[in-house]
Amino acid sequence: MTNATPGDAQVEIVGLSKRFKRRSGAGDVIPIDDVTLSIAPGEFVVLLGPSGCGKTTLLRSIAGLERPDQGVIRITGKEVFNASRKLFVPPNRRPISMIFQSYALWPHMTVFQNIAYPITSRSRVGRAEVRAGVERALTQVGLSGLGSQYPGQLSGGQQQRVALARALVTDAKVLLFDEPLSNVDAKVREELRAQLIEMQREFGFTAIYVTHDQAEAMELADRIAVLNSGHIEQLAAPREVYSRPATRYVAEFVGAANLYEGSVAAVSGGTVSVDTPLGRLVVADHGVPVNVDDRVSVMFRPEDVELSTTLSDAENVRAATILRTNFVGAQQTVVLEAGDVRIQAIIDRDASAPEGAEASVRIARDDLSILPYEERAGGAA
């Protein structure tokens, strides 16, 4: 999926900001702060971040459930919000459907009536057409024959399928998902994720999906927008976000990371040499602009660590001691110590890594990333 440009975007957000007054009166909360984002037709974009990062406020602003203070929102080429023009199109007139974490099903209505509600409430549609649309949606989500049931008679996973069917029945071009799978068990969550991917590919709707679950974001997204304190820290394909995080915050949030502060010692021949607590590491130049003596962070993922019982003088090899090994099913997690420095590694479940053993640790230059140096709390990076 290519990135959308303003001319072909299905959803376009420009300079969007929203403030809330604190109840205590001590300043404002700014959940979204000058956010700009373009989403192409048929693209699946995940808004990822922890609680309070602004992802849900951004989604609710697109839906029309929040009124931002600044910026512009366009959906299918039409403005639905423009702060300077005082334009605000209400939710029911926006070409979107939204699926909530709480399902938002009417308990006194049958499954059929819940799914039909968006059609019958917006326009005059014949009974035969309504029935055909609802039955088609029920089949799409695997609930054929349950139209006469009530939400209270269904499991949590089935209720979420009803909510998805209600969104699909409107033929909306844009579907918004507010952590819709957080209330179902792990097995059902996996099934629903796979089903959602298949339906999105089949029907081609544009999806904007909010979650705090990194694995869910990686599986679903064409692109992930990682949010932090109301800003988008990085917007990229899942592989790039994971392997080439733009900031330390992204590196730490999207997975386990080995991170070390250092100073650039040399830049030459397509490589950058960085002096770190692990010694000098040679990093492939991935286009991050750095100069000699710059303070930076060096990052690599645990699965990029190669363990061996023989020590060599090859590039980026360090002697280490295995402190702890944990079996976690398909793999083992290993904690090592090289001097005073801890290293996390992930190895095959059948590999030998006895605690207390000496090992050789190697990290290939292409698996290392250079990140901008960031001041940490208390002055430490």
pLDDT band at 378 (very low <50, low <70, confident <90, very high): very low
Give per-residue pLDDT as tens, 358-376.
999 999 999 999 999 987 6
Q: What is the pLDDT of residue 377?
A: 46
What superfamily would CATH give domain 11-248? P-loop containing nucleotide triphosphate hydrolases (3.40.50.300)
Percentage of the chain modeled with pLDDT above 70: 95
Res. 146: pLDDT tops 50 = yes
Q: Which CATH class is domain 256-372?
A: mainly beta
Give per-residue pLDDT as tens, 277-310.
999 999 999 888 999 999 999 999 999 999 998 8
Q: What is the pLDDT of residue 348?
A: 94
Res. 228: pLDDT tops 90 = yes
Residue ranges of the domains in the chain? 11-248, 256-372
Q: What is the pLDDT of residue 6?
A: 54
Q: What is the pLDDT of residue 4?
A: 61
pLDDT band at 168 (very low <50, low <70, confident <90, very high): confident
Cα separation of 117 and 227, whole Å? 34
Q: What is the pLDDT of residue 313?
A: 79
Q: What is the pLDDT of residue 380?
A: 33
Contact 370, 259 (CB under 8 A): no
Q: What is the pLDDT of residue 7?
A: 57
Name the residue with higher pLDDT: 77 or 7: 77
First to last CA, the chain: 35
Percentage of the chain modeled with pLDDT above 90: 70
**Do 11-248 and 256-372 come out as alike in CATH topology?**
no
Q: What is the pLDDT of residue 5?
A: 57
